Amino acid sequence: MRRRPSRSGRPGPRTRTSSPRGREGLKLSRAFLDRFGGRDDRREEDGGGGPSGSPVVVGLGNPGRSYSRTRHNVGFLVVEELARRHGGSWRAKKKAEAAPVSVGPKNVTLLKPTTYMNNSGAALAGLTAQALIVVHDDLDLPVGDVRVKVGGGAGGHNGLRSIINDLGPDFTRVRIGIGRPPVGVTVTDHVLGRIDSAARDAVPGAADAVEAVVESGPEWAMNRFNARIP
């Protein structure tokens, strides 16, 4: 664009333009809002992940204070730990709370579905299974154990069942053991009971596992976190 000459005959001042870094931040913000801001039109170029096809880490749980410290909400605790580590701010969206963060060189979206556990898949419309890292409690693991897995069934977990029904099974899981219920206690009462200290203490390790999946891939993370200590 030609600059208009001033009355003195000299070129006028240049119009200030945004820096490449500023344009990149604007692009990320727009992509983030397109995905999680409640709009019906979804961008196809992001490949079914978060902004620019980035990973989406989904912590499973139930919304509300009455569920906040239950075994079933350990997935929420892990993504909250990741948000604290990486300076993420939670934003209330249509069917989830979301926090964009950077983990190493990658942009990551943290999600807490607000659709309740049994309808978790509804919060992930427009995403692909391959973009997801789902963090959840697991009855079949000893209390406090952390394991990484790709694919598989629901194992009786209603949140996983909902996601599998909507998106298929091919997502990465970070599993936190809560153990089986004792004799005389139903599974429902067990998962909705107050979280054990051992399971709560496993939250930082599960956050480490998520970071390993994001930065180095699920196979590397499985080799590190699934190894049995003699």
Cα distance between residue 29 and residue 168, in whole Å: 28
CA–CA gap between residue 94 and residue 103 (Å, rounded):
25
Nearest to 28 by CA among 9, 11, 8, 50: 50
The rounded distance, in Å, linking the Cα atoms of 32 and 35 is: 5
Q: Please, what's the largest Cα pairwise distance for the chain?
A: 92
Q: Which residues are catalytic?
A: 72
Phi (first) and psi of residue 86, to 5 degrees: -110, 15
Of the candidates 115, 141, 135, 137, the one whose C-alpha atom is nearest the C-alpha of residue 192 is: 137
Q: What are phi and psi of 145, to 5 degrees?
A: -70, 145
What CA–CA distance (Å, rounded) separates 178 from 138? Answer: 6
